[in-house]
Each structure stands twice: as structure tokens, then as C-alpha cells.
Amino acid sequence: DAVVHWFKWDLRTQDNSALYLASQKASEAKVPLIGLYIISPEDFEAHLTAPVRVDFALRTLRVLKKDLEALDIPLWVETVEKRKEIPGRVVELMEGWGASHLYANMEYEVDELRREARMVRMLAERGMSMEVLHDTCVVPPGRLQTGTGKQYSVYTPWFRAWVRHVHEHKELLELAGLPLRNHPSAREKFAEIFECEVPEAPENKKISEEEKKRFKALWPAGEHEAMKRLSKFCDEAIGKYGQNRNIPANPGTSNLSVHFASGTLSTRTAVRMARDRNNTKKLDGGNEGIQVWISEVAWRDFYKHVLVHWPYICMNKPFKPEYSNIEWSYDLKQFNAWTNGRTGFPIVDAAMRQLNHMGWMHNRCRMIVASFLSKDLLLDWRMGEKYFMEHLVDGDFASNNCGWGFAASVGVDPQPYFRIFNPLLQSEKFDPEGEYIRKWVPELKGVSGKAIHDPYGRGAGAIASKAGYPKPIVEHKAARETTLAAYKRGIDSG
Ligand code: FAD
């Protein structure tokens, strides 16, 4: 007999709810525990998983395999081309190993919930069991309700309820620790699994040698790296997070999103460490930077709660149905200018180039480019949402979809539609010296002073043009009017 833990985007040994429970089950039954990870190229395609994200997961699996082995737990990694064949293959593997219990952490997207429901049935028919646990949020979805018993659709009151709930339920920030050491028979019985190797990226997510090197340097993988980053951030930067978090030229944010998205770090561990640094020892009050950071991590929970309650957002529909009739543009020339960082708006171009180079973009810039795509270019926000997923190392459906919904005003608790970012003012406010722009748009290195924000409009056109930097592809004021009219028409006809 054996117990299996199925890893998905929970690639860590520490404080992993289902893994820990699986190890307890195995220990009680005096049988070995086996870790399992399935690579499905078709699944990556269906989720638009960025190659940089796949690369991060595979590098992390190599770290995870070693960490598990230190506890005598083997990890089996296998490629299953078609996603619909995954449940059947998991069952087959379990039968081959003589395992009767499967553990996994829950993923809340519609396809994943359906898959898990199917697996629970399949296993039950064969006399086996599957346990799926809440793990990725600090507060499991479904726990928080408004006074009238509804799901919150506005962040601020939801956050107050979240804080209250965590204070009242101390167990939510108790950490599971490492899984128990495996049964001594595991080494001999499953020698083949210990020997299996983590494969290279599948054909559809291959990257060049240059990208491999770049991503490895930018995104060191695995949970130890995550802990190191978290401690360093809490030691050195969290106190000033409130002041620095909106300045893209400053590394004032934690840079932990890749770890939350891959599950190399649990949000419990992060929130707990931040809370413990606060002199109030609470999630609220005390140090402002700590409070603000915890409230940002909570946004991730909020969006997952929204996804669970309104799963139709997984189906390409806007959260706000009354915004379904806006006539979007599908102008590919403009879209390509946006993706390539050649819109002629320096802050937008810097941000898109950062994304293309790193697989990551600063939050302020995500809002600026998302607003620019939907409200200056009036392009369908879903084109931007898709492009982000295809390129982000931290691509997470709920955060990305809701982030786009916020910026395009079609999502949950959004920016009102008539509030349209002026890219020039955003640039002046959040990159006052133009440091961020100069870093990512080398054509503008020679432009000094305020002209950096708008070279053609502020007397640096000759330098920009000589360096091959494009002129603005739209005029903001006119675009704004067109957009306001289009949103209004869309809403009125809805
Ligand atoms: P920090 O500022 O240090 O914040 C700590 C953590 O809190 C983050 O790692 C993240 O997990 C969470 N967080 C912070 N802000 C948000 C937010 N607005 N929404 C949800 N969670 C948040 N985040 C993703 O993890 N994946 C995405 O695919 C994603 N897509 C986005 C798309 C758009 C259009 C926008 C506006 C935002 C998106 N975000 C996404 C949220 C946010 O931009 C990133 O989480 C953040 O930039 C990551 O950097 P950090 O780890 O240094 O964040």
C-alpha cells in the first residue's frame, strides 16, 4: 500500500497542507508516501502558461525532488500529452504502486474543479479515495460573507472581514511544517521513482539557451529562494513598502509573486512573518508598511474568492455583464505596437519591454499598460489579459483576469469607466526622473529632463527620431473622448 501527494502549483515541502496530511496518513498506516507531478503540454496550452513560468516550475521540481529525497520521499514526474488523460493516468499509476489514497491541494478554476470531481468519482469506484484541501489562500473561499449572507464584491469591507476572521481563527496562520519522514521501505520499494529525472521543457514551451540563462539568473527557483527573499524583504524593505511600492525604478516590492503563483511559498508563511514583525503582532495597526503589504497579499485571496463565487469569469465573460456590449477594437497594428513596446508613450513602452525581458512587470505599470490598451487603444482587454498570461512568470488566472477587469472597468470592484489614466501624468508622478524609462527604452537614454516622458511633445523629437523611437500612435485626449463615448454606448445598449 502507499499514499500519493499530487503536486500542482504547490511546489514546496514546507507548510503544504495536503502534503503534510498525506505524510501523516502514510505514517499512521505505516506505508510509504510518493510525490507525483504531471507535465501536460496541452494543459499548459489551455492555460496559456508562459514558457518562463514552465521553466521556473521545472527548475523548482529539481529542488523539490532533492528536498523530498532528504525525507526519503520519492517524486515521480511524468509527461501526459492530453489533459483529459490525466485523471486516468493518475489512477493507473496509483494502481501500479498499490496506492489507495490520493492527496492534493485545491485549484479553484472551473476546469480544475471539474477534473478533481471526476477523479474523486473514478477513485471511489475503485475503492480508493481522494482528499482535496484548501491551501493557497489564507482564508479559504466561502468563509467570508456580508451581513446579508452574500459574497463581497467590494474589496475594502471584504478586507476588514478578512482581518477580523484571521484574528478570530488563529489556526489559519498555523504552519504545517515539513512532511514526516517516509516509511523506511520506500527506498527499496520505489527505487525506480527515486531515480526518475525531471525532464526538459516540452516542445511547445521550449526556450532558447539565452532565455534559459536569463530566466535562471532572474528567477532562482525553489522554496529556499522564496524564504530567503521573504526574510530579506521583511528585514530590509517592508517598513518602507507604503512609500516605495509605486515607484517602478525602485525595487520596493517583495518580488514574491512568482513564488506565490508557483506555490514555492505559502501565503500563510508570508503573512505570518510580516505580522510577527509588526509591533502590534496583528494584521492591522502598527507599522504602516507591514499593514499595506499584508493588504496587498490579501488582494490575491480576494480575487480567488471572487473566482470561486462567480466562475463565469473563467469563460471569457466580464464580471460586470452590463459591460458586455462595448464595441472593442481588434486593430492588430496597434496591438503589436503595444506588445513590442513601440507605442510612442515611453512609460508604456518601458513597461512592456520589462515584461518581454523579465516575464514580470511592476504593479503600477501593469495598471498603466492595461489602462492604455483598453482605454487609449480601445482594444479588447482580453487580448491584453491573454498576452500577459503568455508572458508572465507569475501568471495567475484570478489575479490577472481581475487586474485586467479593474483597469478596463469591467471587473470586480473596478476603476470607474470614466477614470482614464493619463499616461503622461502617470509617468511624471511615478517615474519622475525617468530612470525606469531610460533603463528599458535605451533609445531615450540621451533625452534629459521632463522631455523623457513625452520626447516628441517636449522638444526632444530629433533625438528620439534619430534613435528610431516611434511617435505616439494615438493622441491621448482624442482617444479618451472616443473611449468615453464607446463605454457609454455599450452600457446604454446593455
Ligand atoms: P508586492 O507588491 O510585494 O505584493 C505582495 C504580493 O501580494 C504579490 O506577490 C501578490 O501575490 C499579491 N498582490 C499584490 N498586488 C496584487 C493585486 N493587485 N492583485 C492580486 N494580488 C496582488 N499578480 C499575480 O500574481 N499574477 C498575475 O498574473 C497578475 N496579473 C496582473 C494583471 C494586471 C493588469 C494587474 C493590474 C495586476 C496583476 N497582478 C498579478 C497583481 C500585481 O501586479 C502583482 O502581484 C505584483 O506586481 C507582483 O509583484 P510583487 O510580488 O513584488 O508584489
Tell me which residue range forms the domain holding 363. Answer: 321-492
How much is the pLDDT for 363?
98
Name the burial class of residue 47, with classes exposed (0-12), middle (13-18) and buried (19+) by CB atoms within 10 angstroms of its CB: middle
296 lines ligand 1 (CB under 6 A): yes
328-371 pLDDT, tens digit each: 999 999 999 999 999 999 999 999 999 999 999 999 999 999 99
Nearest residue to 137 via CA among 307, 21, 323? 307
Query: In a 3-state reduction of DSSP, which class is residue 7?
Result: strand
373's grid cell: 490598451
Q: Is residue 13's pLDDT more than 80? A: yes
Which ligand 1 atom sits closest to the C-alpha of 303? 20
In 147-254, beta strands by DSSP E: none
Which of 52, 240, 243, 394 for mutating ligand 1's site (highest number of atoms within 8 Å of CB)? 394
Domain for residue 469, yes or no? yes
* Interatomic CA distance for residues 462 and 71, integer angstroms: 64
How much is the pLDDT for 251?
79
How much is the pLDDT for 252?
94
184-220 pLDDT, tens digit each: 999 999 999 999 999 999 999 999 999 999 999 999 9
How much is the pLDDT for 26?
98
The sign one gets for the Cα dihedral 271, 274, 275, 276 is: positive
Domain for residue 195, yes or no? no
Tell whether 28 is in a known binding site.
no
Looking at residue 292, which CATH number applies to its domain?
1.25.40.80
Clarify whether residues 254 and 358 are in a common domain: no
Domain for residue 188, yes or no? no
Average pLDDT over residues 98-104: 97
305 lines ligand 1 (CB under 6 A): no
103's grid cell: 492527496
How much is the pLDDT for 188?
96
Clarify whether residues 273 and 299 are in a common domain: yes
Clarify whether residues 294 and 347 are in a common domain: no
Contact assessment for residue 67 and residue 223, using Cβ atoms and an 8 Å cutoff: yes
Ligand 1 centre distance from Cα of residue 400 (Å) = 8
Nearest residue to 5 via CA among 76, 55, 53, 63? 76
Tell whether 396 is in a known binding site.
yes
443-484 pLDDT, tens digit each: 999 999 999 999 999 999 999 999 999 999 999 999 999 999
368 lines ligand 1 (CB under 6 A): no
Q: What is the ipTM of this complex?
A: 0.99
Domain for residue 208, yes or no? no
Find the angle CA(26)-CA(193)-CA(64) to the nearest 5 degrees. 75
Q: Is residue 327's pLDDT more than 90? A: yes
Clarify whether residues 451 and 487 are in a common domain: yes
Tell whether 449 is in a known binding site.
no
User: Could you confirm whether 158 is annotated as catalytic?
Assistant: no
Q: Is 222 left (phi over 0), alpha (psi -120 to 50) or beta?
A: left
When the pLDDT of each residue in the chain is averaged and rounded to a whole number, the result is 97
Looking at residue 39, which CATH number applies to its domain?
3.40.50.620
User: Could you confirm whether 219 is annotated as catalytic?
Assistant: no
In the chain, how long is the greatest CA-to-CA distance? 76
The pLDDT confidence band at residue 9, using thresholds 50, 70 and 90, is: very high
Q: Is residue 494's pLDDT more than 80? A: no
249-303 pLDDT, tens digit each: 987 999 999 999 999 999 999 999 999 999 999 999 999 999 999 999 999 999 9
Domain for residue 183, yes or no? no
User: Could you confirm whether 299 is annotated as catalytic?
Assistant: yes
Rounded to two decimals, what is the model's pTM?
0.98
Domain for residue 266, yes or no? yes
Centroid of chain to Cα 213 = 22
Q: Which amino acid does the sequence have at 154?
A: V
Clarify whether residues 278 and 344 are in a common domain: no
Ligand 1 centre distance from Cα of residue 115 (Å) = 27
Ligand 1 centre distance from Cα of residue 378 (Å) = 24
Average pLDDT over residues 76-82: 97
Average pLDDT over residues 232-253: 95
* Interatomic CA distance for residues 352 and 340, integer angstroms: 7
* Interatomic CA distance for residues 258 and 221, integer angstroms: 9
Which of 399, 412, 421 for mutating ligand 1's site (highest number of atoms within 8 Å of CB)? 399
**Distance set, CA 425 to CA 64, 333, 371, 440, 476 (Å):** 45, 25, 13, 19, 11
How much is the pLDDT for 475?
98
Clarify whether residues 250 and 295 are in a common domain: yes
404 lines ligand 1 (CB under 6 A): yes
- The H or E element that residue 309 is part of is helix 288-309
- Count of structural domains, the chain: 3
Tell whether 440 is in a known binding site.
no
Residue labelled with grid coordinates 470531481? 117
Please name the residues in contact with 31: beta carbons below 8 A apart, sequence gap of 6 or more: 1, 2, 3, 183
How much is the pLDDT for 47?
96
Clarify whether residues 164 and 79 are in a common domain: no
Side by side, the strands of the sheet bearing 99-105 are: 75-79, 33-39, 2-7, 99-105, 129-133
Considering the chain, what percentage of its residues have pLDDT values greater than 90?
Answer: 98
253 lines ligand 1 (CB under 6 A): yes
Residue nearest to atom 46 of ligand 1 (CA): 363
Clarify whether residues 289 and 400 are in a common domain: no
Which of 254, 258, 283, 300 for mutating ligand 1's site (highest number of atoms within 8 Å of CB)? 300
256 lines ligand 1 (CB under 6 A): yes
Q: Is residue 175's pLDDT more than 80? A: yes
Clarify whether residues 419 and 478 are in a common domain: yes
The pLDDT confidence band at residue 7, using thresholds 50, 70 and 90, is: very high
Catalytic residue among 109, 381, 400, 443: 381
Clarify whether residues 146 and 245 are in a common domain: yes
Looking at residue 486, which CATH number applies to its domain?
1.10.579.10
Considering the chain, what percentage of its residues have pLDDT values greater than 70?
Answer: 100
Residue nearest to atom 21 of ligand 1 (CA): 300
Clarify whether residues 253 and 381 are in a common domain: no
Clarify whether residues 116 and 145 are in a common domain: no
Question: Rg of the chain over CA atoms, in angstroms?
Answer: 24
User: Could you confirm whether 76 is annotated as catalytic?
Assistant: no
Answer with the one of 135, 154, 180 that is the final residue of a domain. Answer: 135
User: Could you confirm whether 404 is annotated as catalytic?
Assistant: yes
DSSP 409: T
Catalytic residue among 107, 404, 440, 443: 404
Answer with the one of 135, 161, 180 that is the final residue of a domain. Answer: 135
Ligand 1 centre distance from Cα of residue 399 (Å) = 7
Tell whether 295 is in a known binding site.
no
Tell whether 162 is in a known binding site.
no
Domain for residue 164, yes or no? yes
User: Could you confirm whether 328 is annotated as catalytic?
Assistant: yes
333's grid cell: 497594428
Tell whether 296 is in a known binding site.
yes
Domain for residue 301, yes or no? yes
